[in-house]
Amino acid sequence: MQQRPSDIEKNHPEGSLVFVWNADAGILNAVKDSLHKWISPETYSCRLCELTHGFAKEKKAWRTFLDSVGKPVFFYYRDTFDQTGISGDFPYAFPLVLERNKSQWKKLLGPDQFVEITTLEGLIRALEQNLRS
């Protein structure tokens, strides 16, 4: 009897990239986060959000990178991430970037790395380096 793939395998095929925002889901949270980014950027806690999005939309260079990466890409909010069933040997601290490799989840970037990344170009460079290794 052939085994059926798990929901994780169906929803996140091999090579998938998962990005987890350090922000909560919902339109009110999105508005609050946008205002926080604008009014007090130095205290805003989602570096992934800050680097990849302007006040109200995704930055074009980020979209270009995602379209060129050649892997399935998924985004989750910190308050919905536990519902994905994704688990592994990585800290549940956000923002977080994971790659599914050999049926395991590997942390590419976590909060410690995001502290050091100050530009979108730096984020893209860090992701490209991690994807090559």
Within a domain: 117: yes
Q: Is 94 helix (H, G, I), strand (E, B) or coil?
A: coil
CA dist 96 and 108 (Å) reads: 8
Total domain count, the chain: 1
Helices (H), 40-119: 47-52, 60-68, 111-116
Q: Which residue segment(s) compose the domain that 62 sits in?
A: 15-132
pLDDT at 6: 52
Tokens for 55? Answer: 């006040």
49: CB partners within 8 A, 6+ apart: 21, 22, 23, 33, 37, 95
Within a domain: 56: yes
Within a domain: 46: yes
Within a domain: 4: no
CA dist 64 and 81 (Å) reads: 25
Within a domain: 8: no
pLDDT tens, 34-48? 877 778 877 777 889
Within a domain: 54: yes
With a cut of 50, which residues of the chain have pLDDT below it?
Answer: 1-5
